[in-house]
Structure 1
Amino acid sequence: MIVEQLEIRVGQRVECTDGPAGKVTRLLVDSASGRATHFVIRKGSLRPRDILVPIAWVARFTPERLELSVPRSELNRLPPYRSDEELREAVERALWQDDSIRIEVLEQDALILQVHHGIVTLSGHIRSQAQHRRMEALIRQVPGVLGIEDQTIADDELEIAVAAALAQECRTRGQLIRVRARLGYVNLLGDVPDAEVRDAAEEVAARVPGVRAVMNFLRTPGEPLHLPQQQPIDARIGQPVFATRLMLGTVTRVILNPRSRQVTGLVVEGELSDPEHADPKTLPDEWPKRQRTVLVPASHVGKVTAGGVFLNLSDWQAVHLPDFNPASFTAPEATWQPPFPYRREDILLERRADQAVPAQAETGVSGGGQVAASRPVAPIGAERPSSEEITSLRVQELQHT
């Protein structure tokens, strides 16, 4: 039977080899191939149950009915039909029951789970391939799941990919650079001869597909430890932004450093007071407001949670944030791949030092089209990672042959 020749419609009777089975209620189509893979029938009358039937079971058909190649007893072994939303919730519940997945991935907001016609798509970052196998096993146990499309990136694979890229780059080949990844954020640790090698390593690591951002802790002789300007910030588009008591608006875009891919600023749009109309003697609720788009440097972000972005600013300081000037930044090229969880249109890049920037008033943006520098931090994880926690890879051992 050639599946594409089948004519399946809602309301068709379905018959097994030993009698009637029910009626077609819907058809499931694979979004990638455009082909129908299953149809849903409602079985029973007193306690009706929707079940998924593979199209491959159809032996013959007419405009009025489908004849299956199996007896009715086989239908009892089929999974129930669940809507995409019901199935997504069931898969989430299954994953949350695993302590490792819950603590290391889900609570870190590092995974996006989508369901379409019974196919579960996973995107984002996980800790290891072993964790991926565990997730897949849990998902396959959920009744109604027809397949899994895995687009996740495991940290252990990312560490190897970054080390290999450093080994192939002439500017970093032969250097002892330790690579450590955590949910897509890559730490570079070790000692290098000069700032040129340090910057080259950051640039090379950031180009590796799947890297969210690079935290460069490489040391050079005679210089203090080079620290990134802030912890990774993964504010989502649409998240609300708060000062002490004031909601500024929502995140509409993020600003990235083009070399490290770190988020250096947030573009926030909402109802906000003008600085000249804010009276420190009155409550923020009494300040007259208008629609504004402001630039929030990463140094002013205190924390990001599922509930929003919380700034380390008072309400008075928040209304004095600079208005956003899009001319100070550039859009990514069409071939540029954005880091998780962003789309290309969500991102603007800081201008390079050799790119002209239109003159503007005091905005908190440096003349080079960069968000004002923020405070340095220690490596990811607060303390310096121990040797047991680091994937140490001697770059010369991975030279391209």
Structure 2
Amino acid sequence: MFPAQISTTNPDEFSRCEERSQMIDHGKSLSRIQKTDATIKESVERALWKDDVLRAIEYHEIAVHVKNGVVHLDGHIVSTTSQGRIEKAMRAIPGILGIQNNLVLDDKLIFQVAAALGALEHTYGCKFFTGASHGVVSLGGIVSDENVKLLAEQCAASHPNVRAVINNVSVSGIKSELKEQSFLQPTIGEVIYFLDGLSGVVKQVIMDPNNRRVVAMIVRGQFADQRQELKSLNSAEGRSPEQLVVLSMDLVRSLTRESGFLTINSRERKRYLDFDPASFRAPNVDWTPPYPYCPDDVLFPVEKRAVEYQILKDFPQAPFVFAPKEEVLWEQLLANDSLGG
């Protein structure tokens, strides 16, 4: 437990996404309160780093924000044991006026997702095995039909605290090769480098709403083709203007929290697309994006027809759900989805 002097705070008083949008340096000096908050933030991060277990398992999965002396913790951790270590590490830090703990625990998330899948198990006579690692839920088991496998994936993805779903469920009687299912979440503002050294910055991500996995990223940069480059060299225009492009996640060679590296050159225009706003849509206002994204960070590909999968309301009455054919862009992105499913 936290010390008695630490008060309970209202989570509505702080928004991680609103705070991020206001983090613009206009050359103004920090106020006394802001300096105090920065000192507390450094102290909290240092205390978490000093714990050997937290440093090895949880440190990079916890985001610390401090506003008006109140510490806000966001992210995903493994268990209540880790939560206890976090509380212990923060006890001796002076100046903390309150703590808002928004950390999601894997052990609790597994229980909640498994409970939601129970209705599908009862309806279709199957058994799912659920695991989680820092919010990424993995599903196992054997079902009788591909549509039941899809329903399980969507049911797990409907939980707002799930970061992504890795679907390893097998279909009885169908021998399929198990695909490697890596998990990639490019950070908004992260620098992405092509093999030829050109780079851009991640502005938004494109997500598969069925499993909350990122399938592509929208990157802003200067990506001139050969004709544009020759024109720039022969004129006083200098470098080509910035543009937005869509890069599939299967083009990513490596990804850290600060930068990403691609497997292609910027001139390989057939390997990526220009961003077309008409090809994407924003999620519904009541949809919660997976951590660490904010609502404006995520787009869904526009489908040719609305796909009704009937997870929450109708699935007990409809044993099979068929998805209509989706438009070409959606198929391209999912075909390149190295995460499988």
TM-score normalised according to structure 2 size:
0.76
Q: How is 1:200-215 mapped onto 2 (pairs within 5 angstroms)? A: 200-215=151-166
Cα offset for 1:93?
Answer: 0.5
Given candidates 258, 279, 287, the residue that maps to 2:209 is 258
Cα offset for 1:288?
Answer: 4.6
**Is 2:235 aligned against 1:273?**
no
C-alpha distance in 2 between matches for 1:106 and 1:234 = 17
What SS is found at the alignment partner of 2:283? coil
Deviations 1:64-123 (A, max 9, x none): xxxxxxxxxxxxxxxxx971001100110110111221222223xx22110112211101
Residue of structure 2 in register with 1:84 after alignment: 37
Q: How is 1:226-375 mapped onto 2 (pairs within 5 angstroms)? A: 230-277=181-228, 288-317=239-268, 321-355=272-306, 366-368=328-330, 371=333, 373-374=335-336
Judge conservation of contact 2:144–2:172 (CA < 8 Å) in 1: yes
Cα offset for 1:226?
Answer: 6.5
- Backbone CA RMSD of aligned residues: 2.9
Judge conservation of contact 1:172–1:197 (CA < 8 Å) in 2: no
Judge conservation of contact 2:281–2:299 (CA < 8 Å) in 1: yes
Residue of structure 2 in register with 1:38 after alignment: none
Say if 1:147 and 1:174 are closer, same or farther in 2 by CA, change over 3 A. Answer: farther
C-alpha distance in 2 between matches for 1:33 and 1:216 = 34
Residue of structure 1 in register with 2:324 after alignment: none
**Is 2:73 aligned against 1:111?**
no
Say if 1:182 and 1:193 are closer, same or farther in 2 by CA, change over 3 A. Answer: same
C-alpha distance in 1 between matches for 2:164 and 2:334 = 18
Judge conservation of contact 2:187–2:258 (CA < 8 Å) in 1: no
More strand by share: 1
Residue of structure 2 in register with 1:49 after alignment: none
C-alpha distance in 2 between matches for 1:298 and 1:210 = 22
Say if 1:128 and 1:247 are closer, same or farther in 2 by CA, change over 3 A. Answer: farther
Letter in 1 for 2:333: V
What SS is found at the alignment partner of 1:187? strand
C-alpha distance in 2 between matches for 1:374 and 1:252 = 20
Judge conservation of contact 1:272–1:319 (CA < 8 Å) in 2: no
Larger radius of gyration: 1
**Structure 1 residues 219-228 or 158-167, which shifts more?**
219-228
Cα offset for 1:192?
Answer: 1.1
TM-score normalised according to structure 1 size:
0.65
C-alpha distance in 1 between matches for 2:52 and 2:62 = 15
Residue of structure 2 in register with 1:98 after alignment: 51
Give the number of the structure with larger relative contact order, counting CA–CA contacts within 8 Å between residues 6 or more apart. 2
What SS is found at the alignment partner of 1:215? strand
The percent identity for this pair of structures is 32
Residue of structure 2 in register with 1:389 after alignment: none
Residue of structure 2 in register with 1:222 after alignment: 173
Cα offset for 1:142?
Answer: 1.3
Judge conservation of contact 1:241–1:311 (CA < 8 Å) in 2: yes
Unaligned runs of 5+ in 1: 1-29, 35-80, 357-364, 380-401
C-alpha distance in 2 between matches for 1:133 and 1:192 = 38
Say if 1:291 and 1:174 are closer, same or farther in 2 by CA, change over 3 A. Answer: same
C-alpha distance in 1 between matches for 2:268 and 2:134 = 33
Letter in 1 for 2:36: S
Q: How is 1:109-258 mapped onto 2 (pairs within 5 angstroms)? A: 110-169=61-120, 174-225=125-176, 230-258=181-209
Letter in 2 for 1:336: W
More helix by share: 2
C-alpha distance in 1 between matches for 2:122 and 2:278 = 33
Say if 1:235 and 1:318 are closer, same or farther in 2 by CA, change over 3 A. Answer: farther
C-alpha distance in 1 between matches for 2:242 and 2:47 = 43
C-alpha distance in 2 between matches for 1:167 and 1:347 = 29
Unaligned runs of 5+ in 2: 1-8, 14-33, 308-326
Judge conservation of contact 1:264–1:298 (CA < 8 Å) in 2: yes
Letter in 2 for 1:99: D
Letter in 1 for 2:140: L
